[in-house]
Amino acid sequence: MKKVLFSLSILSILIISSCGSDDGGDTSVDNQVTLGDETFDINNGGFVDFGDTEGTSQGAFILTDGAVSIAGNTFSVSQATISISFTLVSVGTGGLQSGTYPFGDVVSTGSTNAFFGAAISANGASPQVTGGTITLSGSSPNFTITLDLDLNTDEKLTGGFAGEFSTE
């Protein structure tokens, strides 16, 4: 009888432990970004892999509601009301790592990941990024990107895009 009770106790612990919520949080995105009080659909993404240089992996991304084309290392966007471009860098080789990328460089952020060179164009305005994070998961050409950016307009740009990215 003791063995049965012990077995049931262990089984109960395993069931309770496995039913707990994940600590990873919700990483789903709805392919939209919000800038201030305006929401934009994001229909396309582009990715240029700069490869591994000097102990880092780097890649440039663009998210937009327009059409994306890539020539060499340059993005072209047409028919867009919004475009968001940025460069991610990971310390180490082997490609960009899934994770959170704070604004700045890897030295100033104290992180092994960082983003810089962010540019936003929305309805003719070009707010500047002053801080925040970008979260990356997946691998080329299928990425999920989540944005939580602070802007010089005292607004935030939040949201993301998940899907297949155009590549060079």
Which pair of tokens denotes residue 143?
């990425």
The C-alpha torsion from 73 through 65 and 101 to 22, rounded to 10°, is -140
Q: Which of 48, 33, 54, 37 is nearest to 120 (CA)?
A: 33
pLDDT confidence of residue 157: 97
On the question of a cis peptide bond just before residue 127, with omega within 30 degrees of 0, the verdict is no
pLDDT tier, 34 (very low <50, low <70, confident <90, very high otherwise): very high
Per-residue pLDDT of 102-154, as tens digits, reads 999 877 777 899 999 999 999 999 999 999 999 999 999 999 999 999 999 99
Whole-number Å distance between alpha carbons of 108 and 151: 19
Per-residue pLDDT of 71-113, as tens digits, reads 988 999 999 999 999 999 999 888 999 999 999 987 777 789 9
pLDDT confidence of residue 27: 53
Instruction: Summarize the chain as % helix, strand, coil (round to 5).
Output: 10, 55, 30
